[in-house]
């Protein structure tokens, strides 16, 4: 039998019962749709993660007090919250392999201007902070050493804070109130979007000396710095210096469990977020794979029903000269048709949902864009076709092995 005839016969077998074929395909549609959607979402999230970190640059390093990770807003709630001293920051600044070392103190309180109020993240830090966080002034200026020397009551505000408090007015030289103290706005930062899923445009930066004066703090909430040269070497330098200063003896295996500080680089964060994203994608792809298997079993079931229903037809085909392989191929192609068409519909639905999702999420997450992975589509369709072959072979063999006369006389 010619391949063209086989394809025509098989396509007729699928289209003759459209409703049933569509229901049979449902498992494959869901499976393939999920694969396409999740791989596309994975790629979009990768873009977001890269976006979160790309502003900082991979050589930005943050040292946190304690050993419980940087998560959890108030460091005072964590053990060893006061382990990082300002002297640590000064000593780190002596290293040749780092620049722009800036201790950070968080100040709590709302910002108010007239009747407008905002809930910013208030950062007290040195001018080096602007360098290692890669932020620039859009309006006015950033605070400098002279502001630090005199602990001047000045602030540099993020673009969202400027909008919240001042709407269309120029914020420069206006006096805002933070925790019952007045500050003069000297600059507005250029918008940078979200960093590590926090809105970086909702921060207010005050001079480090001013923050110390207000909070009377003797320890830093974190120290940020910029690595120069090989990142691993810099991390080793910083670790060894802090251990030396804190009198920490590391265990023989070189583990970090004795440390009272934690070092994170943007590159590490990128790696961790990337791993999490990949893990999530793999997990959901696995679920989609299970859906494909369930869909495949559905296909096998319906194909077995179809073989039983069409037993007389199979007998007739054999009586007019069909060989075993003609019948085998006819039913196998029907099964692959079902899964492949299901796959194509699944790709369409997956891409459609991804587009809707990208449009919706893109409004809230910078860098979340509609991503189409051609590789994932090809893989999903190939998996669908493979499912058709894997689950179609048994019914097709059952059909091909039918005895012609028994099949013709089947009631």
Q: Which C-beta is closer to other proteins: that of 249 or that of 320?
A: 320
Q: What are phi and psi of 127, to 5 degrees?
A: -60, -25
Q: Which C-beta is closer to other proteins: that of 9 or that of 159?
A: 9
Angle (deg, nearest 10), helices 266-309 and 324-362: 140
Q: By CB under 8 A, what part of segment 385-404 binds other proteins? A: 403-404
Interface residue with other proteins, options 179, 276, 297, 319 (CB under 8 A): 319
CB 229 within 8 A of CB 33: no
CA distance 298 to 225: 58
CA 107 to chain centre: 30
| Part in contact with other proteins (CB under 8 A); list of ranges 21-29, 201-209, 295-303, 310-318 | 310-318
Interface residue with other proteins, options 247, 321, 363, 374 (CB under 8 A): 321
3-state secondary structure of 100: strand
Applying CB under 8 A, the site for other proteins has a residue count of: 23
Q: Which C-beta is closer to other proteins: that of 133 or that of 311?
A: 311
- What's the closest the beta carbon of residue 313 comes to other proteins, in angstroms? 6
Interface residue with other proteins, options 278, 323, 359, 360 (CB under 8 A): 323
Residue 141 lies near other proteins (rule: CB under 8 A): no
Interface residue with other proteins, options 320, 364, 374, 375 (CB under 8 A): 320
As given in the structure block, the two tokens for residue 271 are 């790696």
Lay out the site mask for other proteins across 7-46 (x = CB under 8 A, - = otherwise).
--x------x------------------------------
Give every CB contact of residue 169 below 8 A, 6+ residues apart in sequence: none
As given in the structure block, the two tokens for residue 127 are 């001018």
CA distance 41 to 31: 15
Residue 317 lies near other proteins (rule: CB under 8 A): yes
Residue 316 lies near other proteins (rule: CB under 8 A): yes
Count Cα atoms within 13 angstroms, Cβ side, for 113.
22
| Part in contact with other proteins (CB under 8 A); list of ranges 66-74, 109-117, 299-307, 313-321 | 313-321
- What's the closest the beta carbon of residue 307 comes to other proteins, in angstroms? 15
DSSP string, 335-396: HHHHHHHHHHHHHHHHHHHHHHHHHHHHTTSTT------HHHHHHHHHHHHHHHHHHHHHHH
Residue 314 lies near other proteins (rule: CB under 8 A): no
CA distance 351 to 312: 42
Give every CB contact of residue 263 below 8 A, 6+ residues apart in sequence: 61, 62, 63, 64, 235, 238, 239
Q: Which C-beta is closer to other proteins: that of 149 or that of 325?
A: 325
Closest CA relative to residue 307, chosen from 337, 331, 277? 331
Q: By CB under 8 A, what part of segment 285-304 binds other proteins? A: none
Q: By CB under 8 A, what part of segment 200-259 binds other proteins? A: none
CA distance 146 to 337: 75
Q: By CB under 8 A, what part of segment 92-121 binds other proteins? A: none
Contacts with other proteins by CB under 8 A lie at: 1-2, 4-5, 9, 16, 312-313, 315-324, 326, 403-405, 408
């Amino acid at each position: 039998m010619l391949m063209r005839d086989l394809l025509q016969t098989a396509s007729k077998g699928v289209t003759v019962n459209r409703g049933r074929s569509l229901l049979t395909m449902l498992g494959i549609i869901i499976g393939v749709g999920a694969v396409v959607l999740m791989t596309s979402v994975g790629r979009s999230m990768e873009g977001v993660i890269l976006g979160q970190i790309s502003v900082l640059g991979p050589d930005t390093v943050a040292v946190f007090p304690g050993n419980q990770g940087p998560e959890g807003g108030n460091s005072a709630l964590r053990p060893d919250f006061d382990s990082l001293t300002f002297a640590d920051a000064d000593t780190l600044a002596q290293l040749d392999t780092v620049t722009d070392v800036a201790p950070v103190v968080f100040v709590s309180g709302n910002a108010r201007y007239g009747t407008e109020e905002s809930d910013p993240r208030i950062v007290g830090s040195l001018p080096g902070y602007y360098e290692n966080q890669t932020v620039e002034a859009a309006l006015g200026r950033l605070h400098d050493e002279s502001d630090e020397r005199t602990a001047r009551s000045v602030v540099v505000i993020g673009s969202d804070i400027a909008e919240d408090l001042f709407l269309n007015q120029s914020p420069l030289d206006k006096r805002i109130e933070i925790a019952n103290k007045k500050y003069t706005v000297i600059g507005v930062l250029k918008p940078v979007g979200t960093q590590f899923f926090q809105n970086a445009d909702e921060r207010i930066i005050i001079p480090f000396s001013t923050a110390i004066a207000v909070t009377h703090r003797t320890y830093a909430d974190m120290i940020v710095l910029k690595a120069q040269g090989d990142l691993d070497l810099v991390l080793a330098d910083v670790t060894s210096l802090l251990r030396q200063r804190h009198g920490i003896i590391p265990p023989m295996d070189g583990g970090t469990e004795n440390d009272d500080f934690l070092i994170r680089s943007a590159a590490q964060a990128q790696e961790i977020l990337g791993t999490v994203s990949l893990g999530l994608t793999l997990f959901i792809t696995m679920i989609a794979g299970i859906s494909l298997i369930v869909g495949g079993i559905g296909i096998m079931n319906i194909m077995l029903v179809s073989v039983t229903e069409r037993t007389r037809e199979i007998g007739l085909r054999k009586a007019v000269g069909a060989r075993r392989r003609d019948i085998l191929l006819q039913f196998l192609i029907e099964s692959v048709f079902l899964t492949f068409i299901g796959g194509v519909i699944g790709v369409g639905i997956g891409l459609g949902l991804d587009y809707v999702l990208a449009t919706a999420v893109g409004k809230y997450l910078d860098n979340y864009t509609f991503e189409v992975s051609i590789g994932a589509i090809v893989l999903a369709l190939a998996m669908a076709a493979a499912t058709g072959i894997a689950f179609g072979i048994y019914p097709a063999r059952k059909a091909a092995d039918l005895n012609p006369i028994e099949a013709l006389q089947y009631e």
